[in-house]
Amino acid sequence: MDSLVESGWKYLVTHFSDFQLACIGSFILHESVFFLSGLPYIFLERTGFLSSYKIQTKNNTPEAQGKCIARLLLYHFCVNLPLMMASYPVFRFMGMQSSFPLPSWKVVSAQILFYFIIEDFVFYWGHRILHTKWLYKNVHSVHHEYATPFGLTSEYAHPAEILFLGFATIVGPALTGPHLITLWLWMMLRVIETVEAHCGYHFPWSPSNFLPLYGGADFHDYHHRLLYTKSGNYSSTFVYMDWIFGTDKGYRKLKALKET
């Protein structure tokens, strides 16, 4: 496996520049992982397949789904891609590299765990700020247009929010200056996680059934279907920040009622 990864990476660094890999390569990878992991949930909604696992009974119309996809493509090309290109000098300054040797799996795993923890902390406070009256009305309400979320709505947001909460995703890597392969793996896992959290389905195999402190779709779906002043569940990945600051009380009460 290691030799296969090294051979693939050798091909990439031989045929493409650092800038091409870090910017264009990252963008292509993000789009591929995002749409491949998110589009199946549109299929599930339209066909009703596995509907017994759907958290809300309401479905989005094909028109609403199409609007989401069109807006996402616009934002990704006009906001995300320029942001990736503008961030390249910063990451180079902070120590990002793409050369050999590749980092060990222990280093990669430790860095990605750190990224998840710090991203969740920064995202929690940024998300709470976005739920203040003015910012919600003028910025964050765009993301909440979909009270019944599906996978692709995870990145449906006002451009200002994309920039604001995007900081939570890049602050960890900016602090550690990781190898580009670590950055790619972090991006893939973060995209898959946020798509799952917005998917609208709670399956027996959902990660929240097996990973302690992981929020998942059921946790975040509650956030979407309530009024902004009472929503709570502000964390992106884990549940402990909401538990510590008491912003999950409504969710826990609802869970307790369902279990009685």
pLDDT, one tens digit per residue, over 28-86 is 999 999 999 999 999 999 999 999 999 999 999 999 999 999 999 999 999 999 988 98
Q: Is the pLDDT of residue 247 over 70?
A: yes
How many domains is the chain built from? 1
Neighbours of 200 (CB within 10 A): 26
The Cα 185–Cα 160 span in angstroms is 25
Report yes or no on 138 lying in a domain.
yes
pTM of the predicted structure, to 2 decimals: 0.95
Q: Is the pLDDT of residue 2 over 70?
A: no
Residue 187, domain extent: 2-201
Report yes or no on 206 lying in a domain.
no
Backbone Cα Rg of the chain: 19
Angle between helices 26-47 and 180-197 (to 10 degrees): 20
Q: What's the confidence (pLDDT) of residue 188?
A: 98
Report yes or no on 66 lying in a domain.
yes
Report yes or no on 88 lying in a domain.
yes
